[in-house]
A and B are shown apart, each in its own frame.
Chain A
Amino acid sequence: MDERRGLFVSGAVVQGTDHLAGGIGCQDALKSVRCEGDEAGGGVVLAVADGAGSRDRSALGAHLAVDIACRVLARELPGDDTDGTVWTEWISVRAKEVVDTWLRAALALPAATEHDEGADGTHVPRDAGEFAATLAAAVVRPPWAAFLCVGNCFGTVLTMDRDSTRERCHLVLPPPDERHSSLFLSSPGARMRVRSFALWDPDLTGVMVATDGCVPLTLDHPDVHGLPPVAGPLPSARFFVGLASALRDNGGDAEPLRALLSSPEAGRSGDDLTMLCALTGRGTRTGGR
């Protein structure tokens, strides 16, 4: 296997303890697909989505979101030899396409068919909010990775310098500060507020996207590292590097991730927990297997 380009994908969705206690089903979703065409060179798409807790049909909205993201992002990737502006433009256009497609699909569903009469007598669907969901997706084709995000999902990357045995994690897609307002795919202006970017790193060894329930379990407050609040949340190396090692040791089987997110300590999040990873063979291993 080409350790730089040969990717394996592992992911898990675990119902939140609070959802379980309240009789609320899991409202998260994940999906991953291989990019289309030989020229894609082994790229993968990762998508995770989180249905809004207070909306009955938001789980459906989340499933729609990951499905649409995978279909839109798996095709016609830029070539390896293109520069960053091409990738940036590509993911920006695709991000808006994902939001537009999701909105059209949600409005076409029966629960959204409450409608107003349009001026010409046509039916104008009133609201896609019943399906409100957040979304994070990444196209991973080392050394490139391109991200899009609507709402408070987040993403990290792992890198390992040449000749190094130490893998490092970076919070490249932080959860936004949404203490007083939240953004969903159904929110007004979501198309204009979708975040997207591309990065290039020859030392890229992994990409992880996750829903916001994972924030308190995977990101440290800066004061844990003696930094001021303005530094923002920091990815926990103990979590991300440790998890990547365990998954590599396990041949990509997601059991270590599922067990981790199902553990009693993870119950402190309360929310549904979803994480999806694409890892190269190059990176840390525990050496346990």
Chain B
Amino acid sequence: MTTDIGFASGLDERQPVVILLDASGSMARPASNPRIAEVDAALTTLFESVRSQARLRARVETCLITFGSRVRVYDAGARALVPAEQADPDRAFVPVDKLSPPPLTAEGYTCLEPALDVALRIAADRRRTLEARRLSVLRPLIWLVTDGAPSDERGRPLETAELAPLADRLRTAEAAPPPDGCVFLTIGVQGADRRLLQVLAPDATFMLEGLDFTQILQFLLRSSDRVSSIGTAGEVHREVARQAALQKAMADLSEQHL
């Protein structure tokens, strides 16, 4: 009798990641080096890095949401960005291997609030779906990538004070106990208004340039081995900040000495 040895499947721990991407008109500037191109390049690097690492490839599942005047969700079945109200939550999260988003275009206003609503809802739905399948799932990670100029639906820029209620909702979502809860980070692209972004994520606002997404994911997966359950959102924020500072220091050193 001949018996081959093979591995099992389907029980890998899951890490949902929502990439909430600002695709408003301001992201098309400056024309010589548009911000959206910077984001495109960073995402390509992230996806390649995840694909190359067996543990991340098996566990990370990604949902891509873009927003300008309208919110769109990447539908893996249609291989297209579809209006949020038409998005099927079960097809919104896909392994990185199956994520092939179309080229991103930037247009319209920066209607952040409805986009965050969609991101929070879709992340919570996904976590519940995975829990119902009795899978081990880490708290969804929501990355807002933006130039930090949110507006209302008529294009009027929002003041800092107007963002406070939205920030409160984010803190509540982060603090929710399992099976709810998420971790929210804002990532600013070149020229971002960091002061505005820090209203949304006081301890978790970073600049895209030089930030290594893969290391953040590795930390999150390691955190699941901890004695005292999974780390809090605050712990994740502090670790990401530590890693971002380390990466910047290394980059500065390289610049000085190489």
Chain A residues engaging chain B, CB cutoff 8 angstroms: 17-18, 21-22, 52-55, 129, 132, 165, 177, 179-182, 184, 215-221, 223-224, 229-230, 232-233, 235-236, 238-239, 241-243, 245-246, 256, 260, 264-271, 284-287
B234 on the A face (CB < 8 A): no
Cβ contact within 8 Å between A181 and B8: no
Contact of A179 among B1, B6, B178, B228 (CB under 8 A): B178
For this complex, 17 residue pairs linking A to B, each with C-beta atoms less than 8 Å apart, are A17-B54, A179-B131, A215-B11, A216-B58, A217-B7, A218-B7, A220-B8, A229-B132, A232-B134, A238-B7, A239-B5, A246-B5, A264-B54, A266-B7, A267-B54, A270-B221, A287-B1
A21 contacts which chain B residues (CB < 8 A)?
218
Closest 6 CB pairs between A and B?
A221-B10, A53-B225, A242-B5, A236-B8, A238-B6, A270-B55
Contacts A221-B10, A285-B1, A287-B1 given; 9 further ones with Cβ under 8 A? Answer: A17-B54, A54-B227, A182-B227, A216-B8, A216-B11, A216-B58, A230-B134, A241-B3, A242-B5
Cβ contact within 8 Å between B9 and A224: yes
Shortest distance from the beta carbon of B124 to any chain A beta carbon, whole Å = 16
Cβ contact within 8 Å between A221 and B3: no
Shortest distance from the beta carbon of A211 to any chain B beta carbon, whole Å = 11
Shortest distance from the beta carbon of B208 to any chain A beta carbon, whole Å = 24
Cα A52 to Cα B223 in complex, Å, equals 11
Cα A256 to Cα B4 in complex, Å, equals 12
Cβ contact within 8 Å between A53 and B1: no
A177 contacts which chain B residues (CB < 8 A)?
134
Chain B residues engaging chain A, CB cutoff 8 angstroms: 1-13, 54-55, 57-59, 131-137, 178-179, 218, 221-222, 225-229
Cα A218 to Cα B10 in complex, Å, equals 10
Cβ contact within 8 Å between B133 and A180: no
Shortest distance from the beta carbon of A50 to any chain B beta carbon, whole Å = 9
Cβ contact within 8 Å between A286 and B57: no
Instruction: Write the chain A residue with the least CB distance to B178.
Output: A180
Shortest distance from the beta carbon of A151 to any chain B beta carbon, whole Å = 11
Shortest distance from the beta carbon of B97 to any chain A beta carbon, whole Å = 13
Instruction: Write the chain B residue with the least CB distance to A225.
Output: B10
Shortest distance from the beta carbon of A166 to any chain B beta carbon, whole Å = 8
A-B contact count (CB 8 A): 117
Contact of A18 among B57, B137, B221, B227 (CB under 8 A): B221
Cα A233 to Cα B135 in complex, Å, equals 10
Cβ contact within 8 Å between A233 and B11: yes
Cβ contact within 8 Å between B222 and A18: yes
Cβ contact within 8 Å between A265 and B221: no
A241 contacts which chain B residues (CB < 8 A)?
3
Cβ contact within 8 Å between B55 and A268: yes
Contact of A224 among B5, B10, B55, B58 (CB under 8 A): B10
A220 contacts which chain B residues (CB < 8 A)?
8-11
Shortest distance from the beta carbon of A170 to any chain B beta carbon, whole Å = 15
Contact of A236 among B3, B7, B136, B137 (CB under 8 A): B7
Cβ contact within 8 Å between B178 and A268: no
Cβ contact within 8 Å between A217 and B8: yes
With known contacts A223-B133, A242-B3, A268–B229 Cβ distance under 8 A: no
Contact of B229 among A181, A218, A256 (CB under 8 A): A181
A229 contacts which chain B residues (CB < 8 A)?
132-134
Cβ contact within 8 Å between B133 and A236: no
With known contacts A18-B221, A268-B58, A184–B227 Cβ distance under 8 A: yes
Cα A184 to Cα B137 in complex, Å, equals 20
Cβ contact within 8 Å between B5 and A238: yes
Cα A18 to Cα B57 in complex, Å, equals 13
A180 contacts which chain B residues (CB < 8 A)?
178-179, 229
B1 contacts which chain A residues (CB < 8 A)?
165, 245, 284-287
Shortest distance from the beta carbon of A158 to any chain B beta carbon, whole Å = 12
Shortest distance from the beta carbon of B240 to any chain A beta carbon, whole Å = 16
Cβ contact within 8 Å between A223 and B10: yes
Cα A265 to Cα B179 in complex, Å, equals 30
Cα A259 to Cα B67 in complex, Å, equals 48
Cβ contact within 8 Å between B9 and A221: yes
Cα A184 to Cα B131 in complex, Å, equals 23
